[in-house]
């Protein structure tokens, strides 16, 4: 590395340091880690959350996961006394906070999408918990906090202390005042950032994007040079530069240059195909997708066929099982740990509704729902509620086929279902010798 490049690199990092100090940085800030590392990637690119989000793959993976989870209904449920069933806890104050509006400024979709985006980028998501002052202690609001401004430490008693820095001011919060959702972690205190752990691959992707952009910027003459048979004085050099500039850039691509004085065009480099630039960029998409656990096809990368089934239903099932499930469980368990009282943790629980993601086509869904109703698994009103329809009278009673008999009685003549008469009605007529039910008045 030349002395000029070294000086320029130190000046760049010094400017970054001034910017960090002005915004109130702490030791958990990834940008400060980048500054102290002194060239954290082999490609020489400085990788942070802000620069990584300029990569379309990082943006697409983050948006896909955060918006999908944010759009899932998150509701609070109450277990029955025997623990075999559960009902919506609509009367609990936390139900409204989780499902409708975590605070006065954000909808549920906006809040949870932002929290999951923080998980994707920093490996941690924080929200300040506001408890009610009067009456029973209940959560009444949640406000998201940026992870890059948060420091987590333990005091002498072993309790976690959260210190939040914003615009030069510091706010210290106790563990009961924070909803902390951790990503993949090793110490149990702080989740690991995919951006920090994958900075080498992201730096390579940034370098490849810069190379491609510079090729387009230089245009026609990026891989060539002009050879003159004679020595050029300053005037002719300036004229040569003017000619070259007339054919540079994407706007002038395809134009045929006019050469003067016996000049010839010679090739000195490789085109993007020879340099395998396109293959490198495609490979970077697949590499970055691995850091987020997203199949490339889910973000529009169609270069290869999938190996885990076809059809929207199979894609969504794969996405839910191998990408979203771990994040959903982390969120639900963090809610139980941070937002429920000790006396409520055995009775109440939060859960995402993933039915919308797994909905099949209309024909397959209709067949499944019909089988569930006919076998008494679900009631008609439960199916109608799932389809967004109003309940009907008598639709809350499970029903089964009246012709069903025990397996041990299959093939026996004259065996009929044990049909009980409706109160106030005449008893069922006795079976006839031929195995049919007849009316005793019929002669």
Helix crossing, 30-37 with 3-23: angle to 10°?
150
195-211 per-position pLDDT tens digit: 999 999 998 888 888 87
316-333 per-position pLDDT tens digit: 888 999 999 999 999 999
CA 143 to chain centre: 20
Q: Mean pLDDT over residues 168-176, rounded?
A: 93
- For residue 254, name the pLDDT band (cuts at 50, 70, 90): low
290 is written with which tokens? 């691995």
29-67 per-position pLDDT tens digit: 444 544 433 346 888 888 899 999 999 999 999 999 999
Phi first, then psi, for residue 60 (nearest 5°) are: -65, -45
- Return the domain boundaries, the chain: 1-39, 49-217+270-309+326-353, 363-407
Element (H, E) at 143: strand 139-145
- The distance in angstroms from the start CA to the end CA of the chain is 112
93-102 per-position pLDDT tens digit: 999 999 999 9
Q: Mean pLDDT over residues 405-421, rounded?
A: 60
Note whether 366 and 121 are within 8 A (CB).
no
Give the mean pLDDT of the chain.
79
**Is the entire prediction scored with pTM above 0.75?**
no
Q: Mean pLDDT over residues 231-256, rounded?
A: 72
> For the chain, what percent of residues have pLDDT higher than 70?
69
């Amino acid at each position: 590395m030349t002395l000029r490049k070294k000086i320029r690199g130190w000046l760049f990092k010094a400017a970054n340091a001034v910017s960090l100090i002005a915004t109130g940085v702490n030791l958990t800030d990834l940008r400060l880690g980048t500054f102290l590392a002194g060239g954290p990637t082999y490609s020489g690119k400085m990788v942070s959350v802000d620069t990584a989000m300029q990569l379309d793959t990082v943006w697409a993976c983050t948006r896909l996961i955060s918006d999908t989870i944010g759009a899932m209904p998150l509701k609070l449920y109450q277990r029955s006394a025997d623990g075999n069933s559960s009902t919506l806890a609509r009367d609990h104050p936390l139900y409204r906070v989780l499902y409708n509006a975590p605070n006065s400024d954000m909808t549920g979709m906006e809040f949870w999408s932002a929290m999951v985006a923080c998980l994707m980028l920093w490996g941690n998501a924080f929200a300040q918990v506001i408890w009610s002052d009067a009456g029973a202690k209940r959560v009444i609001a949640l406000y998201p906090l940026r992870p890059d401004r948060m420091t987590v430490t333990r005091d002498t008693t072993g309790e976690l202390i959260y210190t939040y820095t914003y615009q030069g001011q510091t706010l210290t919060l106790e563990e009961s005042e924070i909803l902390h959702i951790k990503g993949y972690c090793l110490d149990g205190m702080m989740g690991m950032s995919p951006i920090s752990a994958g900075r080498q691959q992201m730096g390579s992707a940034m370098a490849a994007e810069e190379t491609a952009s510079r090729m387009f910027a230089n245009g026609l003459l990026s891989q060539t040079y002009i050879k003159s048979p004679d020595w050029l004085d300053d005037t002719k050099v300036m004229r040569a530069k003017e000619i070259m500039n007339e054919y540079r850039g994407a706007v002038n691509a395809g134009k045929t240059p006019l050469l003067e004085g016996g000049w010839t065009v010679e090739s000195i480099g490789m085109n993007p195909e020879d340099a395998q630039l396109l293959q490198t960029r495609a490979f970077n998409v697949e590499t970055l997708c691995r850091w987020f656990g997203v199949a490339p096809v889910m973000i529009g990368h169609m270069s290869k066929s999938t190996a885990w089934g076809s059809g929207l239903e199979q894609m969504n099932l794969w996405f839910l099982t191998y990408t979203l499930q771990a994040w959903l469980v982390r969120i639900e368990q963090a809610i139980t740990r941070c937002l429920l009282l000790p006396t409520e943790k055995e009775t109440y629980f939060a859960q995402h509704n993933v039915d919308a993601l797994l909905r099949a086509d209309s024909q397959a869904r209709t067949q499944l729902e019909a089988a569930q109703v006919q076998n008494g698994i679900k009631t008609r009103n439960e199916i109608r509620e799932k389809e967004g329809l109003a309940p009907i009278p008598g639709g809350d009673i499970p029903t089964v086929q009246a012709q069903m008999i025990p397996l041990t009685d299959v093939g026996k003549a004259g065996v009929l279902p044990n049909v009980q008469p409706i109160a106030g009605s005449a008893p069922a007529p006795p079976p006839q010798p031929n195995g049919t039910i007849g009316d005793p008045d019929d002669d």
